[in-house]
Amino acid sequence: MIRLEKRQVAVILSGLFFLDLFLGVSFFSPQIFSDGLPRVVFFDVGQGDAEMIEMPDGEGGFVRILIDGGRDRKIIDRLSEQTIPTPYIDVVIATHPDYDHYGGLLPLFDVYEAGVFAGNGVMVEKSTYKKLLATAEKKAKQSISLRAGDKIRYREERIDILMPDIQALRAKGTNEAGIVMLYTSGTGRRVLFTADIGKETEKRIIEKYPDLTVDILKVAHHGSRNSSAEVFVKKVAPKVAVIEVGKNNYGHPTSEVLELLASSDALIYRTDLHKTKRIVLDIKP
Ligand SMILES: [Zn+2]
């Protein structure tokens, strides 16, 4: 478990869119109503993933958790558009060692320092990933690995690490071992971040957590047909589904996934079409 207290982090392991979206109340509400509320940001970084959780610190600021950084320097521009007051991010997470998720964290650490850097603990023979781990040792106060069962807590905010468990770590390829996080905001909203996991891991998540429903789902693997199992999407029943995707040769997002999300009545946001989205997590009615 990571406990975030103010700016001190203690670790216990076991396009530009400035109109905030609101869950529940109404979309495009004035900025004034978003003060002091937790929020999540889905960045347009091209073909790749980058998200941020912003947890209110009670003094008008936020404790920030960056999840992945896309493949290049775009994340630095996206973060500067968010007007983060100091070049410091409380927790930086690389969900798994695929370049479209961690590549941007290398230039990020030229500019930003971090309280904690967290990876999934999987070592790969990639010089850029090794360089990232070495850089994080210097630029973050602490480097850790996150596994299923770990938690991050700050005030009323809570993040449960659902994956990877041992089985996911043993699976073939890097995608299934990605860090999957369930963020439960102090306002009672739930956001599920699924990295690039495939259908088998999605199915195991709903077996392990049969009551899991969410307000927002970060759709796995950029809308690949190998992810977004129908049973999983119907079970977690997101109100909003976010697909992080850019120009690519993989056919992401696939029509199967788009049709499935549409049939499940989720509002669909795509970072290639709708650019960066910040969603305010207002109080669950
Ligand atoms: Zn990816």
Spell out the domains of the chain, with CATH numbers in brackets. 36-280 (3.60.15.10)
Output the six-digit token pair for 269.
């946001």
Q: Tell me the CA distances in angstroms from 65 to 9, 53, 132, 133, one per residue in order.
A: 12, 5, 17, 18
CA 102 – ligand 1 centroid, Å: 9
Q: Ligand 1 centroid vs 224 CA: distance in angstroms?
A: 9
Q: Strand pairing partners for 93?
A: 67, 118
What is the 222 CA–ligand 1 centroid distance (Å)?
6
Cα of 15 to ligand 1 centre, how many Å?
Answer: 20
191 in Cβ contact with 182 (< 8 Å): yes
Q: For residue 115, what are its two tokens?
A: 């309280």
Determine the distance separating the centroid of ligand 1 and the alpha carbon of 35, expressed in angstroms.
32
Closest CA to 157 of 180, 179, 194, 188: 188
Distance CA 39, CA 23 (A): 10
Q: Per-residue pLDDT averaged across 144-169, rounded? A: 93
Span from the CA of 78 to the centroid of ligand 1 (angstroms): 18
Query: How does pLDDT run across 206-249, given as a tens digit for each residue?
Result: 999 999 999 999 999 999 999 999 999 999 999 999 999 999 99
| Bridge partners (DSSP) listed for residue 182 | 160, 192
Distance 225 CA to ligand 1 centre (A): 13
Matching residue, tokens 């977690």: 236
Query: Which pTM value belongs to this model?
Result: 0.90
**Is 134's pLDDT higher than 80?**
yes
Whether the per-residue pLDDT at 1 is higher than 60: the answer is no
